[in-house]
Chains A and B, each alone.
Chain A
Amino acid sequence: MSLATPLLAVVATMVFGGALFAVLGKDPVQAIATIFWEPLFGEFAFFYRPQLLIKGAPLVLIAIGLSLGFKAGIWNIGAEGQYIMGALFGAGVGLAFYPMESAFIFPLMVLAGAFGGWLWAMIPAILKVKFGTNEILVSLMLVYVAEQFLASMSLGLLKNPEGFGFPGSRNLQQYASAHNAELITGTGMHWGIVAALVAVIFAYVLLARHQLGFAIRVTGEAPRAARFSGVNPTRLVLFCLGMSGVLAGLAGMFEVSGPAGQVTIDFNVGYGFTAIIVAFLGRLHPVGILLAGLLMALTYIGGDIAQSQLGLPAAAIQVFQGMLLFFLLALDVLTNYRLRFGAGEVV
């Protein structure tokens, strides 16, 4: 059942999304085909397929981290902020060495990116374990703090001194030691994608075979039983929020040093929030998240194509993506409960 609902949700989204496109005066079959077929097998697939990995990797990387906490009932909603901080820390370290060339710079940036994300996630974690604050609110509000921080950095400290006054940092793509370059030309494969795949395997082993993963699952299902079995809730909160912060920070760092290239005011595009959808669409299961991340990336790319080729409004594409989560949640309810029409019995 839990395997069938995501597939059914995709089908339902196609049907109702198609109806929506038809009402907008577009050919529904062509629109759906453009979104799902064109990026993979169309004329320009050679260009779009690498994009799939590039857009999917940060989603998967962040969603894997979030899923660990979600499984234990620890709700990090602020991955977007941790993603920004990872990018700023990573780019900051790289730019500090400019223009020195050394093989140590990129690994240092990776560590700095992970540290930045971890640091930002530790704020809600420590407030939660020390004062019992709600991690949902604190992590979410820290997103907006991080966005202000990003703006200040791209206009101030990290601004390109040779950038003719334009906001934004130097382009890391033009700084070999700090560039997260394509590993195999034409595939889109960069270190962030490697990291995402490693994270999937790591999370799978953790949840299936490791004591800590077992503690996470037990805590999510029955917190009292978890305490009885010896799980330390404080350490679990620190680990889950810390781990999701690290992975979101890494995603931000790989993005800024690779596909994005530079720190700009509008560097973040919502990967941290979309990853929440990806985590649930993937059933909080590592392999499911991998597939869900690729699917979300596909609707992004296909949606872009449909916008430019068919003139579909951007809002319609967003509605289409929203439907996916809506149908998944609705079908979930229907697999667990039955609809009964008419007057209910009062018990």
Chain B
Amino acid sequence: MTQTPLLSLSGLTKAYPGVVANDDVSLQIAPGEVHALLGENGAGKSTLVKMIYGLVKPDAGSMQMNGAAFAPSEPRAARAAGVGMVFQHFSLFDALSVAENIALGMEQAPKMSDLSAQITSVSDAYGLPLAPDRVVGDLSAGERQRVEIIRCLLQEPKLLIMDEPTSVLTPQEVEILFKTLRKLSAEGTAILYISHKLEEIRSLCDAATVLRLGKVVGECTPSETSARDMAEMMVGSTLRTPKRAEGETGEVVLALKGLSAASPSAFGMPLRDVSLDVRAGEVLGIGGVAGNGQDELLAALSGEMRVQADMVAVKGVAVGALGPTPRRAMGILTAPEERLGHAAVPDMSLTENAMLTGMAREGLAQNGLLNWTAAKDFAERIILKFDVRTPGPANAARSLSGGNLQKFVIGREVMQRPELLVVNQPTWGVDAAAAAAIRQALMDLAAGGAAVVVISQDLEELMEISDRFAALNEGRLSAPEPTADLSVERIGLMLGGAHGMEVAHV
């Protein structure tokens, strides 16, 4: 690569109070190159791309675009210079159409009919079929991502930044996306690609930069490096794979029979005739792209959403019509996906958050009077057993990092000796070491005779810890199959294939 790099970063440094997010980071991206940015959570990947996109100003260091100095003061300047970014979380309005959503993000939106024509031509050119007049609320996650990508492509960027683009896609949708990205790259658009999924990076990217604790710790050519080596570069130590103790499965603990229920929220997914048996000592993995009924299934199991009594049975007792408190008393414990505001109260202390679900089973209340000493003791035991990094139980849940709070939330339920534990996205946004600890805890729980249901979008995680696998698609659950016999193609089909989207003809 002797040509002028498209983007060149040298010595970029950005410090926040108490932490150096980026320390002397340098890297170069050539035109048409697909460059991977690797690192654990908190390694500084997002800070780095935010500096390139003009959201954050570097404290030191410089950037050059095509050999000229480049210091965007705001995203508009970065976009004008040819940088486009697709965020991990979409910023789309459910109630508006595709074209309206795209127009909202433009400086000077053309007439709606012209814009629709442009959208159609870009989507044809890059094999991203998308009807401009469809309402976003009805689109699948893969299609929503296309809206974001097309929004960027309309500006004809020279550099496209993609933050974890495949975390919400089925394997087939990932293939479509990769074809599009390869076509863009062939036309000379550089792509900066952030992902945790090392196999994807190996198949897609030309070069990779690895960040750890804000510093560049290595560079590699992904196609010539094994996924394990890249992972160890990221973590900085040898990875310990969670081990599954062999155990016998026992009686049926959870039985769902024709569970159907409307979603409590407007753009939610109703559950459609979900049937399932989970036995003691078993981990059942439920995969599926976000928004296919995961939240609703968890709510129906936790008791937040009441259904017909006999649709949900635990150890032969019909519990569908019971609320969360009586279900907890029976040993049905759950941990929802959203940590802040759902599983935990952000501004309350860990002691108060331990009280939140531990009240009944840990005997933290007598005749309605709360025993705060016992709650503090319970919180301290969770912190100790699950290695939650915090100064103490008096700290607010908000002050913990995502991974530490997740360990606390999962630990809080695991320590209450569940008969049935249901978790949604147990390791979402959690770094590798914490994720391994959480997975180990879930497997130990099953080995100890509990039934465990893990709802997750991380297929590798489900393959690693579950005995059987089922997929949620449009509120329907596929028949569970033993994990050991499953191929990636089979899983993809169970997840609903490409959601009716055609594979791009590029």
Contact = CB atoms under 8 A, between A and B. Distances in A.
B336 interface: yes
A101 interface: no
A236 interface: no
B342 A210 contact: no
Nearest to B304: A227
Interface in A179-222: 209-212, 214, 217-218, 221-222
B356 A210 contact: no
Contacts of B75: 346-347
B199 interface: no
B158 interface: no
Interface string A335-347: 0000000000111
Interface stretch (B134-142, B278-286, B363-371): B363-371
Interface string B301-335: 01110000000000000000001110010000010
A230 B342 contact: no
Contact of B370 (A214, A222, A224, A229): A214
B323 A232 contact: yes
A217 B347 CA distance: 11
Contact of A230 (B55, B76, B324, B372): B324
A21 to B, nearest CB: 40
What is the interface of chain A mostly: helix, strand, loop, or mixed? Answer: helix
A180 B369 CA distance: 34
Contacts of A225: 341-345, 356
B42 interface: no
A47 B369 CA distance: 43
Given A229-B324, A230-B328, A210 B341 contact: no
A224 B334 CA distance: 14
Contacts of B348: 217-218, 221
Given A222-B346, A346-B74, A211 B357 contact: no
Interface in A260-299: none
Contacts of B304: 227-228
Given A218-B345, A221-B345, A221-B348, A210 B76 contact: no
A214 B345 CA distance: 12
Contacts of A228: 302, 304, 324, 334, 336, 342-343, 356-357
B347 A221 contact: yes
Q: For B346, B356, B369, which residue has the most chain A Cβ atoms within 10 angstroms?
A: B356
A211 B359 contact: yes
Interface residues of A, number: 19
A224 to B, nearest CB: 5
Contacts of A211: 359, 365, 368-370
Instruction: Kindly name the residue among B73, B323, B342, B352 whose own CB sees the greatest number of chain A CB atoms within 10 A.
Output: B342
A346 B324 contact: no
B355 interface: yes
Nearest to A218: B345
A222 B356 CA distance: 11
A346 B77 CA distance: 11
B75 to A, nearest CB: 7
Nearest to A347: B55
Nearest to A227: B304
B24 interface: no
Interface string A227-251: 1111010000000000000000000
Contacts of B355: 214
B489 interface: no
Contacts, number: 65
A212 to B, nearest CB: 7
A229 B368 contact: no
Contacts of A217: 348
B338 interface: yes
Contacts of B372: 209
Contact of B338 (A212, A224, A345): A224
A221 to B, nearest CB: 5
B345 A230 contact: no
Nearest to A346: B74
Contacts of B357: 228-229
Most buried by B among A210, A214, A221: A214
Contact of B346 (A209, A221, A230): A221
For B324, B325, B345, the residue with the greatest tally of chain A CB atoms inside 10 Å of its CB is: B345
B356 A218 contact: yes
B261 to A, nearest CB: 15
A246 B305 CA distance: 32
Contact of B303 (A212, A222, A230, A347): A230
B341 A222 contact: yes
Interface in B136-182: none
Interface in A321-347: 345-347
Contacts of A232: 323
B418 to A, nearest CB: 15
Interface string B411-440: 000000000000000000000000000000
Contacts of B343: 225, 228
Contacts of A224: 338, 341-342
A206 to B, nearest CB: 10
Nearest to B347: A221
Nearest to B370: A209
B49 to A, nearest CB: 14
Contacts of B352: 214
A210 B347 contact: no
A212 B303 CA distance: 19
A57 to B, nearest CB: 28
A229 B356 contact: yes
B306 to A, nearest CB: 11
A212 B370 CA distance: 10
A195 B372 CA distance: 28
A282 B38 CA distance: 51
Interface in B340-391: 341-348, 352, 355-357, 359, 365, 368-370, 372
A229 B413 CA distance: 12
B368 A212 contact: yes
Given A209-B370, A211-B365, A222 B345 contact: yes
A218 B368 CA distance: 15
Nearest to B264: A227
B307 to A, nearest CB: 15
Contacts of A345: 73-74
A26 to B, nearest CB: 45
Nearest to A217: B348
A230 to B, nearest CB: 4
A211 to B, nearest CB: 5
Contacts of B359: 211, 229
11 contacts: A209-B369, A214-B370, A222-B341, A225-B342, A225-B343, A225-B356, A228-B357, A230-B303, A230-B328, A345-B74, A346-B76
Given A218-B348, A222-B342, 7 more contacts: A209-B370, A209-B372, A210-B369, A228-B356, A229-B324, A229-B357, A346-B75
Interface of B: 55, 73-76, 302-304, 323-325, 328, 334, 336, 338, 341-348, 352, 355-357, 359, 365, 368-370, 372
Please name the 7 residue pairs, one residue from A and one from B, whose CB atoms are nearest each other, closest first.
Answer: A230-B325, A230-B324, A224-B342, A222-B345, A211-B368, A229-B356, A222-B341
Interface of A: 209-212, 214, 217-218, 221-222, 224-225, 227-230, 232, 345-347
